Chain A
Amino acid sequence: MKHLTLAAAMLALTAGMAQAQQDTITLGMVLEPPNLDPTGGAAAAIDEVVYANIFEGLTRFGPDGAVLPALAESWEVSEDGTVYTFHLHDGVKFHDGTDMTAEDVVFTLDRARAEDSTNAQKALFTGITGVAAVDPLTVQITLAEPNGNLPFNMAWGDAVIVAPESIDTAATAPVGTGPFTFTEWVQGDHVTITRNDAYWGAAPALASATFKFISDPNAAFAAMMAGDVDAFPNFPAPETLSQFESDPRFKVIVGSTEGETILAMNNKLAPLDDIRVREAIAHAINRQDIVDGAMFGFGTPIGTHFAPHNPDYVDLTALSAYDPEKSKALMAEVGEIPALRLMLPPPSYARRGGEIIAAQLREVGIETEITNLEWAQWLEQVFGGKDFDLTIISHTEPADINIYARPDYYFQYDNAEFQALIAELGVTSDPARRSELNKQAQEMIAQDYVNAYLFQLAKTGVANAKIEGLWENAPTQANDLTGVRWTE
């Protein structure tokens, strides 16, 4: 009897909470942003909180990855393709009440491309030679040479518009133009944002939203199950998704990301400077086992560094099909090689995938030595110091095959032919030619077995079944809440 009343009281309590929750939402995130200034740090977690919610750029990414107008309602390009004129929306205000004008755009872009800029994506701004305010609502950007990608570049979280008055506090108290204003950040726990009633665009349905940081997959699962979190757009425990699918309280949202998950190899360091060793590794890997074992079936096998949902994608998986006999034959030709150092960053695709790959390589006689690294160590030792043989990482930036044209990039692929190809791609605006170049690039890196291409990371999200409007795919790292609402 006593238990019954307790249970009844609990029910009443939770029901009451559900009532009050109609226009607020709690989202789970794996990583906490180190700060909240997307123009001063590259951590994806920053964009996952602020992109499209607090900060907006001249342009923005839509849910399907298309570049849409944002603060700039339209733009045109000069004949020779070197001058872009952006026309800003009228009546846009920052959250502190000041007007957003062309001067703020000039300030933002000048700051981002300055010598001492700590913007992590400075490459987005490299071709820009001048930014000028024509009038309060018109901005002109001058380029050194034509770049059809400028509107795309301006859509990134690193290019959002900030104001000189509030930039000093952006790291802890961001002030933007978006539909939500920053409310509080309890470090180590959550960030809360509240609807901006003075927003220039369509008002969002949610009155407020809380981003809760839960890095432990088990805690994430428990929080979701217990209803502490309403949605977890990038759920860290794929092994539990079947559990959510069978529970009517939840829905599982599976979409695509821009994350090519690769077994990166150090192309300059022996023995991986030998293409036969790299090819042997590629043929020793059974992608389906990795997708099944590490991702519990979520993920699409890829054969090159390109997203399968992209129209220009070429399926090259056959080039590196699972063929352990071929691997053994190649390795017999090469002879003995020392154990390879396999460095694994924290995400479960890397840790679990690494164990599977180590076992698959052992089958063909290639020994590995696994080291688990925290992100900071991985960035310093692998990404910065290039002190590794193998590593597993998902490259989540959109359309980033051009990293193979950077010989100093951590996997150190140095091919002049490929670099020329990417250079041509950078100045080509004809869609047919661009598509052809993209395909050539994909084939070139696949034939050189630069890295072993594993699978396209799936976006596996879990949400309360009554929530709609969350992004299904992840064309960029963001949790755009403008269209999110509770149904009932």
Chain B
Amino acid sequence: MLRYAFSRALSLAVSLIVASVVIFAVIEVIPGDPASYMLGLNATPEAVDALRDQLGLNGSLVSRYLSWAGGMLTGDFGLSYTYKVPVADLVAQRLWVSLPLALYALALSTLIAFPVGLIAAARRGTVTDYGIMGATQLGIAVPNFWFAMLLVLVFAVNLRWFSAGGFPGWSDPGAAIKALTLPAVALALPQASILARVMRSALIETLGQDYIRTARAKGLSRRQATTRHALRNAMIPVLTIIGLQFSFLLAGAIIIENVFYLPGLGRLIFQGITQRDLIVVESLVMLLVFAVILVTFLVDLAYAAVDPRLRRRA
């Protein structure tokens, strides 16, 4: 087990290095000079060059990569070109929006998906099951940004129950949670649909297995068999999907954050790209990649702990 964990950790490190080189290289090719963007329309070339010097944009490629990657390791992500504040501060600030949003959406998605998946599995083959499966198909097919538009139209503009966007900060937790509600719902719908389907098929699969039949033969009702045995075993694939969805939600909220103008990580990346704040973009993408690779690593380890057969693959 230890050997397996070590070999996976090694490949984790290699992945991170490769990823950092790829990201740095891609960012370097992006056209658009941050200095001329910052100075605007009528800036003189001398002013732009002076600023490039100030920003350290005139060094060589390798030295810039090393100072960036080295800084990342020590938690120093550099200074944002546009805002002139440490990138780490910006990220920390934005994380207080993106992380709660991702958790909120995940909670909603799980809360919807569990009972729905359970009912569909229990009523397998009935009209209820078909209805639920049809609804989840629809949920997967709806683009979340369009769903968000419809939510704003109905709940913010017509009913005025929620604000149309923006984030008031955590000083008033009630208002903060309210501001995150519509975005979380928009994000959760497709995720809940996927999760409910996974839940249903995982349950059906375990329900068909021998030990469940044995339990049924021993006299447990179908419901008892489902809740006592099948649910626990069906959790493995369900939890994997939840893990994957979490990292997706953290990075993938980019468009939803734009629709609701939430100051989150996704919007920070988008702003960074349009304002040529490259240091913010490269550091953020790297962080997100790190988060995803880490989640995958942990899921792999958890699997190996459960299922010894997997360790041989390494």
Contact = CB atoms under 8 A, between A and B. Distances in A.
Interface of A: 10, 14, 32, 34-35, 41-44, 115-123, 171-172, 186-189, 212-216, 218-219, 222-223, 225-228, 346, 374-377, 379-381, 383-384, 397
17 contacts: A34-B83, A43-B40, A115-B46, A118-B50, A120-B47, A187-B85, A188-B267, A213-B261, A219-B259, A225-B164, A375-B37, A376-B33, A376-B34, A377-B32, A379-B33, A380-B32, A383-B41
B167 A189 contact: yes
Given A120-B44, A223-B165, A376-B37, 18 more contacts: A10-B160, A35-B82, A41-B38, A42-B43, A118-B50, A118-B54, A122-B47, A172-B83, A186-B93, A188-B94, A214-B166, A216-B261, A222-B157, A225-B164, A376-B34, A376-B36, A377-B31, A380-B31
Given A187-B263, A223-B166, A172 B84 contact: yes
Given A186-B169, A222-B152, A120 B50 contact: no
B161 interface: yes
Interface string B15-57: 0000000000000000111101111111110110011001000
Interface stretch (B3-11, B190-198, B219-227, B271-279): B271-279
A425 to B, nearest CB: 18
Contact of B40 (A117, A120, A187): A120
Interface in B137-161: 149, 152, 156-157, 160-161
Contacts of B85: 172, 187
Contacts of B160: 10, 14, 226-227
Contacts, number: 145
Contact of A42 (B40, B167, B259): B40
B44 to A, nearest CB: 6
Interface of B: 31-34, 36-44, 46-47, 50-51, 54, 80, 82-85, 90, 93-94, 149, 152, 156-157, 160-161, 163-167, 169, 258-261, 263, 267-268, 271, 273-276
Contacts of A346: 274
Contact of B263 (A10, A189, A216, A381): A189
A186 B263 contact: yes
A170 to B, nearest CB: 10
Nearest to B47: A118
Contact of B47 (A117, A213, A215, A377): A117
A119 B42 CA distance: 10
B89 to A, nearest CB: 9
A380 B41 CA distance: 10
Residue among B47, B90, B149, B152 with max Cβ neighbours from chain A (10 Å): B47
A225 B157 CA distance: 6
Top 7 nearest A-B pairs (CB, nearest first) are: A42-B40, A222-B164, A376-B32, A188-B263, A376-B37, A376-B276, A189-B263
A187 B61 CA distance: 29
A377 B43 CA distance: 15
A379 B41 contact: yes
